[in-house]
Amino acid sequence: MDKFVIKGGVKLKGELSASGSKNAVLPIMVASLLSCGKSVIRNVPDVEDVRYMIKVLEYLKAKVDFNNHTLVIEVPEKLNFKAPYDLVRKMRASYYVMGALLGRCNKVDVSLPGGCAIGERPVDLHIKGFEHLGCKITLEHGYIKARTRKLKGSDMFLEGSKGPSVGATINVMMAASLAGGKTVIRGSAIEPEVGDVAHFLNAMGAKITGIDTSIIAIEGVEKLHPVDFSVIPDRIEGATLLTAAAITGGELYLKNCNPNHMSSVLEKFREIGHNVKTDNKTVYLKAVKNLNPVEINVLPYPFFPTDMQAQFTSLLSLVNGMSVITENIFEKRYMHVPELARMGADISIDGNKAIIRGVKKLLGAPTMASDLRASAALVLAALAAKGESEVKRIYHIDRGYESIEKKLRKIGAQIRRAEE
């Protein structure tokens, strides 16, 4: 098991490019199962979640080749329709096979996923959507079993108690692409990753309209075809790298990104006081000294993303005054806070609020990551802290950030990977 050893206090300066979006490519990989033949997916990040999804696809009988950020996925006529517990428990995104296999096979058996370190992620909206498409759903021996003679289009409202569901929107959209008739998803998620999956499906021959809106319409087609497709940049990785420059008092040119996808985060950088400029595919951030505390309300896109909450908790811990973050998506997403406190941060939790009182400096310390974004938050804090820090359990960060230590070293970070 590896850890990061980081010597903090270095201003990070330079130029980096964003990788492809992990949260877009995982469902796109699964969506390739909706057609027989060979699809090519480009701009794919080389992260552990992608490597694991390859194993899922291979279990389902697809052949996969991954080289130089390009996936070649060859899908046979006959697929497995069962995703066992040992596959699903390790990565919740494997749950996307439900929509694809229902579209291809009209049946699927998927193990119920286990718990999640950052809170519950219920599957009720997925099931509700599939039932609207005419599926009979049963729960047997820890498996959700869905069966239908023929998927039929339906008009449905898919928003849950905490707002739209990215996973349910994508899952139902995939299945509805091969359903008979028209499906309308009201209350659909509008995250860029949802839109990218829709564009991928349309490139395969699907008929999806209302992309990037809360009402998506899918006119079912008889069959789809393989496609050559490039994935959007990763807005969360890009925003995390910009935060690394901000928290260390440095500056960064982030290239090959989509600034529009990061608009809520960029606006908070500006509100804090940092100098931020954008053009078509580039963001420039230059940190300043006189900073302002802010309030952040975490909500579904286009508002401030839950996947950047932990990183901004680290950033705001060094901003003079009192900042408040309200986390409205996941109920257990403050597990990085006790680790930050060990470095000298002054943060208290009140329900779903983090009350952050800025301190003058953080001090290096050994820390332990609990999940993907928490691990990024601890790396950021360590980059700014005085002295040496360790971040253990970095297999979490490897799930969603491609060789983050190599990227950070390019802009001056003193960070190395070592065995625990």
Helix (H), strand (E), coil (C) string for 116-149: CCCCCCCCHHHHHHHHHCCCEEEEECCEEEEECC
Contacts 24+ apart (CB under 8 A), 134-142: 134/179, 135/102, 139/112, 142/85, 142/111, 142/112
In angstroms, the Cα distances linking 417 to 17, 344, 395 are: 21, 24, 11
Yes or no: say if 88 and 126 are a contact pair by the CB < 8 Å rule: no
Cross-strand bridge partners of residue 228:
40
Clarify whether 105 is annotated catalytic: no
Judged by DSSP in three states, 293 sits in coil
Closest CA to 184 of 207, 150, 160: 207
Judged by DSSP in three states, 161 sits in coil
Out of 36, 116, 135, 257, pick the active-site residue: 116
| Cα–Cα distance for residue pair 369/326, rounded to 1 Å | 21
Closest CA to 327 of 300, 298, 296: 298
| Cα–Cα distance for residue pair 299/361, rounded to 1 Å | 29
Yes or no: say if 61 and 78 are a contact pair by the CB < 8 Å rule: yes
- Enumerate the active-site residues: 116
